[in-house]
Chains A and B, each alone.
Chain A
Amino acid sequence: SQQGEEDPQALSIQEGENATMNCSYKTSINNLQWYRQNSGRGLVHLILIRSNEREKHSGRLRVTLDTSKKSSSLLITASRAADTASYFCAVNSGSRLTFGEGTQLTVNP
């Protein structure tokens, strides 16, 4: 069963706008990771945030983690058409990842 719940399920924005996706989870975690998937292909690792971290940046990506609320958010700034994809959060507890249901992001040129 899916541990994570992602919100929204789908998001459509214009190029240049920011996109924010949220993820909630239920158990304790070692870390939380975000992945991108293009059209049913493999997953690409975007960013990892440890359980003792609150915010992390990588290029145009900003991730926050609130362990008291068991939630995380991914912000993509200045979006591009090439950012169109499905985005998944995944909690790492032990030697497995438990994925959310994903957010389908569409960036319109």
Chain B
Amino acid sequence: KAGVTQTPRYLIKTRGQQVTLSCSPISGHRSVSWYQQTPGQGLQFLFEYFSETQRNKGNFPGRFSGRQFSNSRSEMNVSTLELGDSALYLCASTPSGTGHNYGYTFGSGTRLTVV
């Protein structure tokens, strides 16, 4: 079956702009999580959605937001971009979420560069 699909793969934006990233999970997976990876901070959890509801949120400013649609596809949005938002953004899906014992399937990521 198809893996987790993230679009676009690469993105270059200017400071102050906003950006929307998309993630299509594996069919049947209802939980979608987002992670930010930077050389300085490593892999950090952004948020997790399950059945269109945000169940968990990491320690990021309100400029970072997301949503999940009824087909489990998810988007994340970053407004008023800063240079420090340059990162690899990874989406991951699992069948359920809390208390499960499944591995996460990650997409290939979106490489965002803010100039």
Contacts and interface: CB of A to CB of B under 8 A. Distances in A.
Interface of A: 2, 30-31, 33, 35, 40-45, 47-48, 50, 88, 90, 94-102
B79 to A, nearest CB: 23
B42 A102 contact: yes
B42 A101 contact: yes
A45 B55 CA distance: 23
Given A30-B99, A42-B107, 13 more contacts: A31-B101, A40-B111, A41-B109, A43-B43, A45-B106, A48-B101, A90-B43, A95-B31, A95-B33, A95-B50, A96-B33, A96-B56, A99-B35
Given A50-B101, A94-B56, A96-B58, A42 B90 contact: yes
A48 B42 CA distance: 21
A98 B45 contact: yes
A92 to B, nearest CB: 8
A45 B42 contact: no
Contact of B103 (A41, A48, A88, A94): A48
Contacts of B42: 2, 99-102
Which interface residue of B43, B44, B104 has the most chain A CB atoms within 10 A?
B43
A97 B98 contact: no
Contacts of A99: 35, 42-44
Nearest to A49: B101
